Amino acid sequence: MADDHMHQVQQPLAQELLARMNAYWRAANYLSVGQIYLYDNPLLKRPLTLADVKHMLLGHWGTTPGQNFIYVHLNRIIKKYDLDMIYVSGPGHGGPAVVANTYLEGSYSEIYPNISQDEAGLRKLFIQFSFPGGIPSHASPECPGSIHEGGELGYSLSHSFGAVFDNPDLIVACVVGDGEAETGPLATAWHSNKFLDPVTDGAVLPILHLNGYKISNPTIFARMERDELEQYLRGCGWTPYFVEGHEPQLMHQGMAASLDRAIEDIRRFQSHARSNGDFTRPRWPMLVLKSPKGWTGPKVVDGLQNEGTFRAHQVPLAVDAAHPGHLGQLESWLKSYKPEELFDEGGRLRPELAELAPTGERRMGANPHANGGILLRDLRMPDFCDYAADVPAPGAKGIGDTHVLGPFLRDVIKLNQQLRHFRIFGPDETLSNGLGAVFEETARQWDGATVPNDEFLAPTGRVMEMLSEHQCEGWLEGYLLTGRHGLFNCYEAFIHIVDSMFNQHAKWLKVTSQLPWRRKIASLNYLLSSHVWRQDHNGFTHQDPGFIDHVVNKKAEVVRVYLPPDANCLLSVMDHCLRSRHYVNVVVAGKHPSPQWLTMDAAIKHCAEGIGIWQWASNDQGSETDVVMACCGDVPTLETLAAVSIMREHLPSLRIRVVNIVDLMKLQPQSEHPHGLSDIDFDDLFTKDKPVIFAFHAYPWLIHRLTYRRTNHHNIHVRGYKEEGTITTAFDMTVLNDLDRFHLVMDTIDRLPQTGGAGIYLKQQLRDKLIEHKQYIDRNGQDLPEVRNWRWSPGKPPAA
C-alpha cells in the first residue's frame, strides 16, 4: 500500500495507540542516533558540544529506522496475539536498532546491569557502541535475542527456517535487506517454504525491507516494477503484502493492518493444517516494507540529499571541527525525536511507552529460543557398539564405512522421534553418501507436490535435502542455535561452498563461549564423504580435500577434525561428535568397501586417544625404530599398511612403526590446541630423529603447518593430495599423487641408506610395477589383481 492508497485501508490503530507507538519508534531512533554519535550528554540536557560527540563515528544508520519501525510493530502483534516470536535482522549492521529495542524492552539491562535504565546507563549504552572494548555495530552475539549476526549478508532466511523447524508455536520475523536479497544464499532461501510442515513446524514471516539502496548502489528489487516484484515473490510461493511510503501516520496504519493480516493468515493456515491433517503447502504471507533509507534522518547534508538515498547507509553526518555546521544539524536531528517526551528526568523510558513492549520471555530479547542452549536437551543415543563391523583380523572386508554408520544414525533418529530435536541435512546426497539406512525410519521432509515413483518424501521427516549447500548449512545453524542437534552430510569437494558460512558460525561459537549468559549449543557436525580418493566416475571436479585446511584456521577451542580409518572408528567418532557441545566437528569418511582394521574395543581406545601406534602392524617393539609410517585417513591408512607389508616381506630387518591419526588436532602443540600432544608424547610416537613417512588424506602442507614446531619436523615427509586428479581407478588416484604403497616404500628406502642393495633392487621392482600398473589399467579399466585382492599380512618376522 503506498501512502496515498493507505488513506483508504482499515485503520487498525486507535489514534492514542498510534501516537504512543510513534513515540516508541522515536525513542528507538533517538537511542540509535545516540549510539552512533554521543559520548556524553545523553539526554541533551545541555546544548550539544563537540566534546559530547565521539571522536570516531562508526555504525550504520540507513537500515536502522526501518528496523526500529518493524520492531515496535512486532511488539504490538506479539502482545495482541500472544506470539512466541523472535527477530532476525538480515542487515544485522542495523545493530543500533536491536540494541536500542532490547534496551527499551528491558532485556538488555537484565543481562548487562551496568547498562541501566537511567541517564548513567544511557551514557554507557551510547559509549559502548562501536567503541574499543565495547560492542560491535551488528546484531552480534552480545545482543540479547539475536541468533543471527547479519554481518555477512545472505543467511537470514535460512537461519529463520532452521529456527522454526520442529518449533510449531514459534514465528520468526525475518528482516531481509533488499541488498541482502541479491545474494545467492538468500535468493534460494525463498524456497525454504517448500520444506516447511504447517503441522509440526512454526512459521517464518519474511519482511523484505525495500529501502532502495545498498552501500552506494540501488538494489535490484527496488528498481523492479512493482508488478514484477510481486510476481517474483508469488512465484517463490509467498503472498506479499506491501507497505509503502514515508508518512509515519499512514505507515503505522499500513504496517499494523498488514501485520494483522499476515499473523491471521499464519494462524489460519496452521490451525487448518493441524486440525484437518492437511499438509497442502500454504502460500505463506510476507511483507514488503518500502520505506526511505535513513528515514527520519537528515534530509540534506552539505547540499546533497541524504534521507532516502544510499548516502544514508552509514554515518550521515561527519561531526567534527572540520564540519562546523554539522554539530547543530546533529543536535536538531536528535531533538526532532523530542527525547524529553520519551524519557523522564532520570533517563527512564516513560511508563506509558514502556508498557507497549511485551513482558517476560515474550520480549524478543528474552525469548529462550534465541539462547538455544537453555532449551537444549541431550540426544537419546543408541549404543554405537551394537553397530560394530565384524573385524576378526585386521584387513577384514568392509561394506563401506558410512554404510556401517547409516543404521546407527537411523536409530539416533528413531530414539529421538518424539523429542523432535535431531535432523540430518544434505544437498541431495544422503543416499549417495551411504546413509540410506536412515530412510528405513524416516523420510525427507518435502512440502512440494509428489508423484508416483518419488522416494522417501513426506510432509514431515528428519532428513532435509535441498540442492543448496547454503540452505543445508543455514537451516542446520538455525536449528542448532535454537537448541537442537544435527548433522550435515556432504560431498567433500562441495562443502567449500559454505566456507564462509562456517567462518561465521565458528566466530559465533567463539564469541558466545565467552558470554556467560549464552548457554552452550550442540556442535555443528559435518560428515564429508564421497571424498577425494574415491571419485571414480566424477573425476577432478569432485576432488578437493581442502575444507579442513580452511577449518583449522579457526579458534582451536572451537574446531575438531577427525579422519577415522575404518567403520568402527567412524562409529566411535560420530557418537562422540553428536554428544559434544559448542564445536564444529569435521568428520571425513569413505563410503566404498574398504578393509577394516580395528575391532570395536580397539577402535574405542584408538579414538579416545586420537592417535596411536598400531602395534599389530609394527615390528619395532624392543628395538630401535628405523622408520615411522604415519597415516591419517582411510585411503592413506590402506596404502600405508600395504607399503608396510611390502617392506616387511622384502626388507625384513627394517624396524617399522605404524602410527595412525584419527584426531588431526593431536598433531598441534598442546599450547595451540586443547587436543594437542605434549612434546614428550609427540617425540615418543614420532621419534626425535627417525624418518617419518606420513600418508595424509588431504593437502600435505597442512601436516607441516600443524607440526612445524615439533622436534622431528625436518624428518617428516608428507604425501597427500597434490591436485592430480581425473576419472581413474581408486589405486591410480593414489599413484597420481605419489601416495600409493609403491611410492611410500620408495620414499622410505630413499631415507634409509641402511637398506643398501636390497633397497635399491626393491625400488627397481616397484618402478617396474608402477609401469605395469599403468599399462594394466589402460587396457583393463581396473586395478591390477594384486592391488584389488591385496590383504594385510604382517610379512616375515623381523630378522634376528
Ligand X SMILES: Cc1ncc(C[n+]2csc(CCOP(=O)(O)OP(=O)(O)O)c2C)c(N)n1
Binding site for ligand X (CB under 6 A): 62-63, 91, 93, 151-154, 177-180, 183, 209, 211, 213-215, 219, 293, 313
d(Cα 24, Cα 85) in Å, to the nearest integer? 19
Whole-number minimum distance, CB 517 to ligand X, in Å? 26
Closest distance between ligand X and the C-beta of residue 427, in Å? Answer: 20
Q: What are phi and psi of 26, to 5 degrees?
A: -60, -40
- At closest approach, how far in Å is the CB of 99 from ligand X? 16
Least Cα distance to 462 among 487, 429, 432 occurs for 487
Nearer to ligand X, 137 or 594 (CB): 137
Q: Which is nearer to ligand X, 62 or 633 (CB)?
A: 62
Min separation Cβ 651 and ligand X, Å: 56
**Cell for 268?**
489460519
Nearer to ligand X, 211 or 430 (CB): 211
Q: Which residue number is nearest to ligand X in terms of Cβ?
A: 177
> How far is it, in rounded angstroms, from Cα 261 to Cα 635?
58
Element (H, E) at 371: none
The set of residues, in sequence order, having a beta carbon less than 8 Å from that of 175 and lying 6+ positions away, is: 67, 70, 87, 88, 89, 90, 91, 94, 156, 207, 209
Whole-number minimum distance, CB 428 to ligand X, in Å?
A: 25
Measured from the CB atom, the residue of 97 and 647 that comes closer to ligand X is: 97
Sign of the Cα torsion 10, 16, 19, 21 reads negative
- Nearest residue (CB) to ligand X, 153 versus 718: 153
Q: Are 204 and 115 in contact (CB under 8 A)?
A: no
Distance CA 56, CA 377 (A): 44
If we measure between CA atoms, which residue out of 704, 721, 405 comes closest to residue 542? 721
Nearer to ligand X among residue 153 and residue 405 (C-beta): 153
Give me the least distance between CB of 182 and ligand X, in Å please.
Answer: 8
How far is Cα 312 from Cα 346, in angstroms, rounded to an integer? 32
- Judged by beta carbon, residue 156 or residue 535, the one nearer ligand X is 156
Q: Nearer Cβ to ligand X, position 69 or 343?
A: 69
CB of 209 to ligand X, least distance (A): 6
Least Å from the CB of residue 588 to ligand X: 28
Query: What grid cell was written down for 773?
Result: 600398473
CB of 309 to ligand X, least distance (A): 11
Cβ nearer to ligand X, comparing 183 with 585: 183
Residues contacting 311, CB < 8 A, separation 6+: 294, 301, 304, 305
Cβ 215 to ligand X shortest distance, Å: 5
Go through the chain and tell me how many residues it has: 800
540: buried, middle or exposed (CB in 10 Å: 19+, 13-18, 0-12)?
middle
d(CA 570, CA 399): 13
List, edge to edge, every strand of the sheet that includes 239-244.
84-89, 170-177, 203-209, 285-290, 239-244
- Nearer of residues 130 and 530 to ligand X, judged by Cβ: 130
**Smallest gap from residue 136 Cβ to ligand X (A):** 12
Is residue 202 a contact partner of residue 167, using CB atoms and an 8 Å limit? yes
Q: Where are the alpha helices (DSSP H) in 247-392?
A: 248-276, 326-335, 339-342, 351-354
**Would you say 188 or 442 has its CB closer to ligand X?**
188
